[in-house]
């Protein structure tokens, strides 16, 4: 009817302040979710297209002397469809624009079956041409353009090569160029592609050390590795699939982390938002009970009135949700994507929403329309005469609290407790709202504290060295020379390799760290808190890895180390708190007792030792622990940016929830407050009643919210943390105090506002049943 359309339009305009909480809830919920979803959906689509365009292979095999015979052997494996071999080596670059040593991972290409770098500018790749196709990010860092010439060298061999073009490769989406770096640095480490002709011209020969394999969709990675190991024999070092290849695995982890964080946090966020929406929409309909009676008296059908009030629950969340999609892309999405760009290199960055965002909007609309329909149906059950007098469903008789206890509490507590017994649902919603606010803020702030504490533990407690030196290949003479120069006691040599650990459910890929005993790596025993000294028997395993494997001290595990064909079965001597990497730790003596040779590729040292060695050519690179900490902090920013957005949203949500709950109480007690004024209650007495009601709701909600917040924080950390890093759940007491003060203060302020509104009640209007 035209009358209902006019009424709807008038109500939406004049009553928008009452609809505002619903609008804000829908806006915030959709903004957070759609912003994050557009980032991970865009990353997923762009990366998949990138993989497809460049013919990215399914598995990478590393070994020595992998010639055509080995390629033919692998082609004979059942699930294999395409096989190509190549040579990869890290070459030094002599640039005139910098004093910092830079290098390129140069890879040969003989065909494009399993790798086809994406040409961003310059010439198309020629498999028989001289020159190099250079990493675009590295080129931009040094102002290099196609047509320029760069000087590259490997050992005593060097050459000036022309830059034929600039490229991007999915194999280098995430590339640090160093085992000691966790953040990409395109100004120092880059990559390039050359023809076999060009590499032979520089080195005089070519030695293939990589094989790329494409397989059928239903292949089993473990079976493939077993077959490759069998056919290559001693030439095999190790194999990686897309699941554990550094770039593709990091890409998948970043997408998964963003998605899990958004889904988990937004799920709770929306539940609390919907709770508030429900109470708001119910209150709005109840406030129009007299108008509903009037419409019924005028002959409007119940179905027409229902449709009219359904539009309240449909239009407001639709507007808020629709604006949230756009706002999410320009705020949340851009903030998250800008941080992701510092660690990942893609040809383009797209922000795309999937059906998930629209499902969230539909869910919010459904809840709001259901709330209005439910409230309207309760009003429609009464006769028009009763409804016009402000009477909905007939009230059930309720027993008041016994006088003996109430008298002890004073009138304010007596009135509030009786009102609570009469409105148990409203009271429960208030407690849940306060608890939910505490829970969300504890989880958000606690996640930030946990990441910060974990990083500090690693670099202030677990690692005690000042510098880490890396060498390309182990050389026993150089090892002895370095030890003699500075003293073996001032150094701690180590080696890390990939390892496959056998479990009942399959294989778990991790890292094995073989090292000398020393003072530069502190392994804290998870059970006793004491320092673990590696012995010549048994292994030490990190805590998170032990939980993943479901093993404890005294158990045995079987594992394969990359580059070694045989398996090892060793007893777990201790479990360490070491946060990263999640590793098996073996002493150099223990490794020798297992029948292997200790050939370290890295060494730890203090500042004085570094000063003695920094001007030598013993190391491929020397990295300070401060630089490593800066890297891990930058990597954590990806997560912390999202956390800060969620914390801000949690604070805004808390304000809206507490304000809305306060207004619900005010609207439903409007007549009671007016009656108190008529009976001569002073302003102070009414304010005391309001504050007692505030305390009865806030204190239980605060008490429940603290353990609920810790439980949610623990779940949050388990879901979003990387497999290689064990974040320790932490919430600083000062931050808990700030959260508590904020929630309690916000609740008190809202109720003080309500007590002020009580003084403005016009008693003659408040106590009338019909206008």
DSSP state of 399: P
Q: For the chain, what is the mean pLDDT?
A: 85
User: By three-state DSSP, how is residue 193 classified?
Assistant: strand
Domains of the chain by residue range: 1-56+251-395, 69-249, 399-460+628-658+666-771, 473-619
Q: What is the pLDDT of residue 569?
A: 92
The DSSP result for 90-122, as a single string, is EEEEE-TT-SS-EEEEEEEES-SSS---EEEEE
Question: Is the per-residue pLDDT at 47 higher than 90?
Answer: yes
Could you please report the per-residue DSSP string of 456-471? Answer: HHIIIIIB--SEEEE-
Of 770, 763, 757, 764, give the one whose Cα is nearest residue 665: 757
Q: Please, are residues 208 and 66 in contact by the beta-carbon 8 Å criterion?
A: yes
Model confidence at 400: pLDDT above 50: no
Q: Cβ(184)–Cβ(176) under 8 Å? A: yes
For the stretch 464-479, pLDDT in tens is 999 999 887 788 888 9
Beta bridge partners of 88: 107
Decide: 185 and 177 in contact? Cβ < 8 Å.
yes
Residue 134, pLDDT above cutoff 90: yes
Q: Which residue has the tokens 């320092």?
A: 531
What are the percentages of helix, strand and coil residues in the chain, rounded to 5?
55, 20, 25
Evaluated on CA atoms 584, 587, 588, 592, the torsion sign reads negative
Q: How far apart are the first and last CA of the chain?
A: 24
Alpha helices in 341-402 (DSSP H): 355-380, 384-388
pLDDT tens digit string along 226-255? 899 889 988 888 888 998 898 999 899 889
Written as six digits, the tokens of 412 are 């304010």
Rounded (10°) CA dihedral 10, 11, 13, 16? 180
Instruction: Give the distance from CA 308 to its chain's centroid.
Output: 43
296-340 pLDDT, tens digit each: 787 888 888 888 888 888 888 899 999 999 999 999 899 888 888
| 3-state SS, residue 156 | coil
pTM for the predicted model, two decimal places: 0.78
Tell me, what's the pLDDT at 97? Answer: 64
* CA atoms of 122 and 406, how far apart (whole Å): 86
Give residues with Cβ within 8 angstroms of 613, minimum separation 6: 469, 482, 485, 486, 605, 619, 622
């Amino acid at each position: 009817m035209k009358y209902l359309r006019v009424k709807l339009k008038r109500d939406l305009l004049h009553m928008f302040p009452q609809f505002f909480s619903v609008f804000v809830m829908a806006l915030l919920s959709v903004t957070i979710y759609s912003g994050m979803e557009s980032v991970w959906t865009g990353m997923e689509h762009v990366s998949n297209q990138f993989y497809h365009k460049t013919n990215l292979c399914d598995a990478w095999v590393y070994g020595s002397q992998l010639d055509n015979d080995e390629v033919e052997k692998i082609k004979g494996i059942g699930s294999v469809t395409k096989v190509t071999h190549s040579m990869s080596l890290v070459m030094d670059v002599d640039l005139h624009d910098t004093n910092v040593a830079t290098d390129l991972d140069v890879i040969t290409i003989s065909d494009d079956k399993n790798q086809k770098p994406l040409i961003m500018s310059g010439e198309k790749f020629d498999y028989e041409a001289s020159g190099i196709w250079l990493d675009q990010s590295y080129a931009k860092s040094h102002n290099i353009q196609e047509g320029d010439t760069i000087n590259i060298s490997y050992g005593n061999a060097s050459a000036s090569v022309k830059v034929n073009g600039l490229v991007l490769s999915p194999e280098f989406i995430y590339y640090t160029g160093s085992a000691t770096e966790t953040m990409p640095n395109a100004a120092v480490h880059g990559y390039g592609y050359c023809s076999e002709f060009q590499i032979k011209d520089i080195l005089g020969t070519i030695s293939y050390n990589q094989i790329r394999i494409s397989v059928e969709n239903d292949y089993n990675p473990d079976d493939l590795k077993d077959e490759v190991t069998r056919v290559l024999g001693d030439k095999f070092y190790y194999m990686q699939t897309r699941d554990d290849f550094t770039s593709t695995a990091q890409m998948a982890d970043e997408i998964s982390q963003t998605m899990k964080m958004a889904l988990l946090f937004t799920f709770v966020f929306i539940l609390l938002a919907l709770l508030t929406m429900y109470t708001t929409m119910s209150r709005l309909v109840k406030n129009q009970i007299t108008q509903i009676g009037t419409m019924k008296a005028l002959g409007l059908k119940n179905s027409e009135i229902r449709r009219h009030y359904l539009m309240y629950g449909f239009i407001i969340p639709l507007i808020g949700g629709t604006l949230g999609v756009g706002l999410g892309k320009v705020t949340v999405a851009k903030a998250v994507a800008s941080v992701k760009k510092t660690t990942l290199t893609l040809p383009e960055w797209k922000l795309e929403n999937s059906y998930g965002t629209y499902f969230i909007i539909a869910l919010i609309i459904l809840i709001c329309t259901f709330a209005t329909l439910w409230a309207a149906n309760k009003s429609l059950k009464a006769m028009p005469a009763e409804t016009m007098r402000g009477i909905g469903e007939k009230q059930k008789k309720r027993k008041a609290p016994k006088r003996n206890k109430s008298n002890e509490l004073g009138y304010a507590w007596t009135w509030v407790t009786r009102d609570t017994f009469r409105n148990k649902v409203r009271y429960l919603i208030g407690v849940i709202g306060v608890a939910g606010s505490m829970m969300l803020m504890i989880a958000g702030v606690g996640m930030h504290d946990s990441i910060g504490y974990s990083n500090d533990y690693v670099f202030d407690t677990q690692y005690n060295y000042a510098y880490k030196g890396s060498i390309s290949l182990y050389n026993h003479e150089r090892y002895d020379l370095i030890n003699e120069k500075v003293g073996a006691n001032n150094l701690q040599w180590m080696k890390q390799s990939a390892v496959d650990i056998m479990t009942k459910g399959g294989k778990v890929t991790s890292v094995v760290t073989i090292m000398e005993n020393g003072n530069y790596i502190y392994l804290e025993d998870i059970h006793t808190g004491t320092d673990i000294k590696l012995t010549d028997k048994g292994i030490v395993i990190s805590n998170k890895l032990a939980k993943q494997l479901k093993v404890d001290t005294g158990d045995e595990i079987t594992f394969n180390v990359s580059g070694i064909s045989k398996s090892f079965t060793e007893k777990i001597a201790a479990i360490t708190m070491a946060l990263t990497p999640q590793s098996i730790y073996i002493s150099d003596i223990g490794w020798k007792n297992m029948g292997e040779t200790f050939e370290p590729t890295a060494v730890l040292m203090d500042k004085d030792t570094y000063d003695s060695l920094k001007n030598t050519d013993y190391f491929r690179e020397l990295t300070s622990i401060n630089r490593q900490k800066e890297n891990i902090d930058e990597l954590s920013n990806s997560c912390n940016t999202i956390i800060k957005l969620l914390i801000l949203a949690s604070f805004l949500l808390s304000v809206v929830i507490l304000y809305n709950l306060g207004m619900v109480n005010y609207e439903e007690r409007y007549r009671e407050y007016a009656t108190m004024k008529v009976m001569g209650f002073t302003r102070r007495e009414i304010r005391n009643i309001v504050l007692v009601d505030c305390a009865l709701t806030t204190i239980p909600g605060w008490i429940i919210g603290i353990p609920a917040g810790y439980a949610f924080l623990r779940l949050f950390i388990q879901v979003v943390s990387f497999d290689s890093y064990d974040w320790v759940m932490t919430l600083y007491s000062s931050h808990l105090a700030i959260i508590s003060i904020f929630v309690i203060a916000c609740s008190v302020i809202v109720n003080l506002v309500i007590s002020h509104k009580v003084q403005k009640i016009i008693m003659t209007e408040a106590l009338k049943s019909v206008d």
